[in-house]
Amino acid sequence: MKNNKRPLIFVSNDDGYYAKGLDTLIKVVSKYGDVIAVAPESARSGMSHAITIKEPLRIKKLRDEPGIKLYKCNGTPVDCVKLGLNKVVPRKPDIMVSGINHGSNASISVIYSGTMGAAIEACLNGVTSIGFSLLDHSPDADFTATAEYVEKVFKFVLEKGLPEYTTLNVNVPKIAPSEIKGMMVCRQTHGIWKEEFEKRTDPHNHDYFWLTGSFNNFEPNAKDTDEWALANNYVAIVPIKADFTAYHALEHISDLNTEL
C-alpha cells in the first residue's frame, strides 16, 4: 500500500449477516486490514441492484472488536453498500468484497445476484471490489477450499487493483480442495435460465406459483467460459464492467442519428 495505514476493507453479502459464507470472508480478509461489514438482516438473494425507496432504512451494530465491525441493515445488498459507504465507514475503503455467496453466480446469474449487485455498487463508487461465490447452497457449506482461493484473489487485487468501474465475479466449484486444478480467468458463458412456474394450492385453497427452472448453456463446448471452468474443476474468475453499452451495436443503429 502507498501509506502506513492498515487497509480499510468493506464487506457485504446477500445471504444475511449470519451466513457462514460472510463469516468465512471476514476471517480471510481481516488478516490484511480493518473490516467494516454491513449485511442484510435476512437473506436477500436475487435482489440484483434493487434499492429501497419507499421504506426507511435501519442499521444496527452487532459486533465491535479491534479490527472488525459488523452491522445489519433491513435493506437490500445494494442498500447495505450505499448506506455503509455514506454513513458508516470513516473514509473511502481500499477494497470491498462481497459474499461468500451460498450458490453459483456464474454466467447470466450475475445479473440477478445480490452478491454481485453489492460488488458492482462499490465499483460504481470508485471502490475496488470482488464478488465471491461457492457452488453450494447449503447453509452449512464447507468453505475450506473457497477460503484458500478467496485469499489468493483478494491479495492480488489488494496489491494490483482493477481497472475503473470493473469488479471480479469469482466462482468456486463444490469439490474437495485436492480436486481443484487451479484458477482460470475467463468470460461469462452465453446462456439463460429457463424458468418454469409450478402451480400449487395453499391450505386456504388459493392458487400460487413457485419459481423453478434450469440453466440452458448455449455454448457447452466453449473452453473459455466460466461454466466450462467450473465443470472442469477450476475456480472461474470473470471481470465484470458496470458499463452496459453494447459497443458492437453502435454502428448497426447509427442511421437513427438525426438532427432537428
Helix (H) or strand (E) holding 236: strand 234-241
DSSP state of 105: -
| pLDDT, tens digit (0-9, with 9 covering 90-100), for 144-202 | 989 999 999 999 999 999 999 999 999 999 999 999 999 999 999 999 888 778 889 99
| pLDDT, tens digit (0-9, with 9 covering 90-100), for 88-102 | 999 999 999 999 999
pLDDT confidence tier of residue 2, bands split at 50, 70 and 90: very low
Answer positive or negative: Cα dihedral of 98, 103, 109, 113. Answer: negative
87 has pLDDT over 70 = yes
Q: Rounded to whole angstroms, how far apart are CA atoms 154 and 132? A: 10
Q: Which residues pair with 72 in a beta bridge?
A: 39, 60
| pLDDT, tens digit (0-9, with 9 covering 90-100), for 14-51 | 999 999 999 999 999 999 999 999 999 999 988 999 99
User: Would you tell me which CATH number, out of the four given (3.40.1210.10, 3.65.10.10, 3.90.230.10, 3.20.20.70), belongs to the domain 8-195+221-256?
Assistant: 3.40.1210.10
**Predicted local distance difference test score (pLDDT) of residue 4:** 58
| 3 state DSSP class of 54 | coil
Bridge-based pairing of strands 68-73 and 34-40 is parallel
What lies within 8 Å, CB to CB, of 237 at 6+ separation is: 153, 168, 169, 170, 183, 184, 185, 186
